Amino acid sequence: MQISSLKIVAAIFVAGFVAFPFPNQGRGQEPPVQQTKVDEAQLRAFAKVYVAVEKIRQSFEPRLKEAQGPEEGQRIQKEAVSRIQAALTKEGLTEESYVEIFEVARGDDGLRKKLLQMIDEERTKS
**Structural domain boundaries of the chain?**
2-20+39-125
**Calpha distance 4→12 (Å, rounded):** 12
**Burial per residue of 83-96, b for 16 or more beta-carbon CB atoms within 10 angstroms, e otherwise:** bbeebbeebebebe
**Whole-number pLDDT of residue 37:** 83
* pLDDT per residue as tens digits for the range 94-120: 999 999 999 999 899 999 999 999 999
Q: CA-CA-CA-CA torsion for 52, 109, 14, 91, nearest 10 degrees?
A: 30
**Whole-number pLDDT of residue 6:** 54
**Whole-number pLDDT of residue 64:** 87
- CA-based nearest residue to 60, from 88, 86, 79: 79
The amino acid at residue 101 is I
Question: Which of 14-23, 33-42, 61-70 shows the lowest per-residue confidence on average (mean pLDDT)?
Answer: 14-23
Contact 91, 49 (CB under 8 A): yes
**Whole-number pLDDT of residue 40:** 92
The amino acid at residue 42 is Q
How would you class 47 by CB atoms within 10 Å of its CB: exposed for 0-12, middle for 13-18, buried for 19 or more? Answer: buried
Percent with pLDDT over 70 in the chain:
71
- Arithmetic mean of pLDDT, 35-62: 90
* pLDDT per residue as tens digits for the range 18-28: 334 444 444 44
- CA-based nearest residue to 113, from 21, 35, 25: 21
Hey, is 108 helix, strand or coil?
A: coil
Question: Which of 46-50, 62-66, 112-116 shows the lowest per-residue confidence on average (mean pLDDT)?
Answer: 62-66
